[in-house]
Chains A and B, each alone.
Chain A
């Protein structure tokens, strides 16, 4: 089940200042990973991001949503097609992933929340190459990528309550460069 709410859209002419907000709520299954990053990418296109910025945001969203699904709710295999090798005993845990995006001027704020198991040792989880699921061939680069691709990363987590990942990025540097010319 996918719910999309476009809350508010006020584009102020001149000065390029813009305010826009959206919220998404979807099932914590791996099929929705691509939906999530494509939805966020579509949301930010009015800011004229560069190809690189768009890819950065998509990667960061993908990392955070994947974390929420496989770590937060421990849905290692989602429903839907998964090749012929899908184990038959899979049980999909009920759960939703929430994304809230806000554009203020040329800054993009993203919040990705799950109400899953939470992270016990946050410092350890954010260490590059550390993964709690090595058997799944997770590279342990998720948080490192989010940090590298976004300007700011903040993680709030409570065991058995859930995790919120907050990210920020300044977009539309292409406008700036064009303006200089």
Chain B
């Protein structure tokens, strides 16, 4: 599976074109599997291919944040387009995760 990659201490999750409730369980459950198995402390969400996200995406990010934050891990968002950034800001997630270009 190419969507989940472990590089050093980071799990990189490549999100699909559309992130909604239908896809969210698959993404969350797989991400958790990697976090546990590879013992990574940070998670990077890559929005390169993502053109749509609703509040289910917020749930995915928030859930992973809760899992790793207590061990000092960090969550990053990369390649987010304008619409995704709007949603991240509107939900207040930008205060707890790092949004990078």
A interface residue numbers (CB < 8 A to B): 30-31, 33-34, 37, 51-52, 55, 58-59, 62-63, 66, 69-70, 77-78, 82-83, 85, 136-142, 144-145, 148
User: What residues of A have a CB within 8 angstroms of the CB of B60 in the complex?
Assistant: 137
B37 near A: Cβ within 8 Å?
no
Q: Is the CB of B55 within 8 A of A139?
A: yes
Q: Which residue of A lies closest to B53 (CB)?
A: A59
Instruction: Pick the contact of B87: A59, A70, A137 (CB < 8 A).
Output: A59
Q: Is the CB of A141 within 8 A of B55?
A: yes
Q: Which residue of A lies closest to B93 (CB)?
A: A139
Taking the closest CB of chain B, its distance from the CB of A110, in whole angstroms, is 15
B78 near A: Cβ within 8 Å?
no
B62 near A: Cβ within 8 Å?
yes
Instruction: Pick the contact of A33: B21, B25, B62 (CB < 8 A).
Output: B21
B95 near A: Cβ within 8 Å?
no
User: What residues of A have a CB within 8 angstroms of the CB of B54 in the complex?
Assistant: 59, 62-63, 66, 145
User: What residues of B have a CB within 8 angstroms of the CB of A31 in the complex?
Assistant: 22
User: What residues of B have a CB within 8 angstroms of the CB of A37 in the complex?
Assistant: 52
Taking the closest CB of chain B, its distance from the CB of A73, in whole angstroms, is 13
Q: Is the CB of A30 within 8 A of B59?
A: no
Task: Report the bound CA distance from A136 to B21 in whole Å.
Answer: 10
For B20, B21, B59, B83, which residue has the most chain A Cβ atoms within 10 angstroms? B21
User: What residues of B have a CB within 8 angstroms of the CB of A142 in the complex?
Assistant: 55
With A62-B20, A141-B91: A82-B25 Cβ-Cβ less than 8 Å: yes
Task: Report the bound CA distance from A18 to B95 in whole Å.
Answer: 43
Q: Is the CB of B21 within 8 A of A30?
A: yes
